[in-house]
A = this chain, B = another copy of it.
Amino acid sequence: MKIIELTGSVSLRRDVESGTSEQTKAVKSVIEQVQTEGDRALRTLTERFDGVTLPRFTVSEDEKKEAYENVSDRELSALRNAIRRIRAFHERQLRESWFFTEEDGTILGQKITPLDSAGVYVPGGKAAYPSTIMMNVIPAQVAGVKRIVMASPPGKDGKLNAAVLVTAQELGVEEIFKIGGAQAIAALAYGTETVPAVDKITGPGNIFVALAKREVFGHVDIDMIAGPSEIVVLADETAPPEYVAADLLSQAEHDEMASSVLVTTSKALAEKVKEEVEKQLDSLPKKDIATSSLENYGAIYVAQDMAKAVEAVNELAPEHLQVMTEKPEMLLGKIRHAGAIFLGHYSPEPVGDYFAGPNHILPTNGTARFSSPLTVDDFTKKSSIISYSKEAFARDREDIMTIARLEGLEAHARSIEVRNIKGEESK
């Protein structure tokens, strides 16, 4: 890793795959096919892209049971504990509808309603992540979404990954479809004979899934289009270099475009971390990916003082920020932009990726400047409530008509004027 003296402003190098025009064209064509031909298109596309002919897209009871046989007791217990903690955290995010009254009888407020339905896309193949299902499904369930539909591409054997299937069952997801790629997104957005159309689609995926989500956005809601994963570790001389190095590497193994950055006030730590990274890198199964990621998107910045270091963190606006300083909580007020903030030496990112409770679906590419982790809020919507009393109406009618006419909207003024404010009882 390069050690760089922090002088001016900094930014992560963020190359986002936005898809070639061929890919975009292919995705549009897949979506059209699914819209016009429904299940028949899904069958053909699954044969073409997943290389498997499925008699049906649903998961049989036998397959569901079999999945449990391929997950150890240790694994099952870990998954259950994770679900419990993640659910407990998200339950605290649930918001109630609220209102307030005015003495004249007026009621104003905000009604919170869960979405009717949500679709969760779960990538398949080698990168089958049970944690992804938890992080998408749990907030939707806590929000009160009645219908949660899951789609995931089948393997060559026509089956889903066992851990994925077990996790879905543990969560109580009942509608599971073996469909992947852009065709899955199209089916969830527009519906087919067997797949129900949903109101919102969340979950990660490859470039085709990402492009398809972008295409259907507006017709349905989507979560963010995630970029490559990022970590910034902010550390002083109290941080153990072997911890810092391991944490940087845990990000680097994700993806060749993943970014791992250390910002520190300690030149000594910088050098020790550099050494440790090289040492630990050697024995990693995903050594090649991590090496390439660190080379292109990794860096160690040495800052003059903590104020400058924190300012660099805010400029980076990272997805994950680990604060490994003597008193990390004292810096919390200065940190303006980060998707998730991990404090202290015993809060490495994997604690949050899998277990602590908060969501691991986080804003990337500097969008932490204006976006948030996935939350229960994302599976609800608000409606304003306006119940004006006759008394309030009588008091404010002149003002309302004045503004309507100032804006040149006479019919607006007349909808006020037409209302009788003398006599009769109010409704």
Chain A interfacial positions (CB closer than 8 Å to B): 74-75, 77-79, 81-82, 89, 92-93, 98, 100, 106-108, 110-111, 113, 115-116, 126-131, 163, 199-200, 218, 220-221, 225, 238, 240, 242-243, 246-247, 249-250, 252-254, 280, 284-286, 290, 326, 328-329, 332, 335-359, 362-363, 365, 367-373, 375, 377, 381-390, 392-393, 396, 398-400, 402-404, 406-420, 426-427
Residue numbers in B under 8 Å from A250 (CB-CB): 409, 411-412, 414-415
Q: Given A243-B419, A370-B221, A419-B346, A252 and B341 touching (CB < 8 A)?
A: no
Closest CB of chain B to A232's CB: distance in Å? 13
Q: Given A246-B418, A247-B415, A415-B247, A398 and B344 touching (CB < 8 A)?
A: no
Q: Is the CB of B128 within 8 A of A407?
A: yes
Residue numbers in B under 8 Å from A115 (CB-CB): 369-370
Docked CA distance A164–B350 (Å):
51
Q: Is the CB of A356 within 8 A of B412?
A: no
Residue numbers in B under 8 Å from A419 (CB-CB): 243, 345-346, 348
Docked CA distance A146–B358 (Å):
28
30 A–B contacts from the bound complex (CB under 8 Å): A75-B402, A78-B399, A82-B399, A107-B343, A108-B356, A111-B341, A115-B369, A116-B369, A130-B406, A163-B407, A218-B225, A221-B370, A221-B371, A243-B419, A249-B415, A250-B414, A250-B415, A252-B411, A253-B409, A253-B412, A285-B410, A286-B409, A346-B392, A348-B416, A348-B419, A351-B393, A354-B403, A355-B399, A355-B403, A372-B383
In the complex formed, the residue of B with least CB distance to A327 is B427
Q: Given A242-B418, A286-B410, A375 and B382 touching (CB < 8 A)?
A: yes
Docked CA distance A397–B406 (Å):
65
Docked CA distance A413–B358 (Å):
19
Top-6 shortest CB links A-B: A358-B384, A343-B387, A372-B382, A221-B370, A78-B399, A340-B384
In the complex formed, the residue of B with least CB distance to A227 is B218
Q: Is the CB of B403 within 8 A of A79?
A: yes
Closest CB of chain B to A414's CB: distance in Å? 5
Residue numbers in B under 8 Å from A427 (CB-CB): 238, 326, 344-346
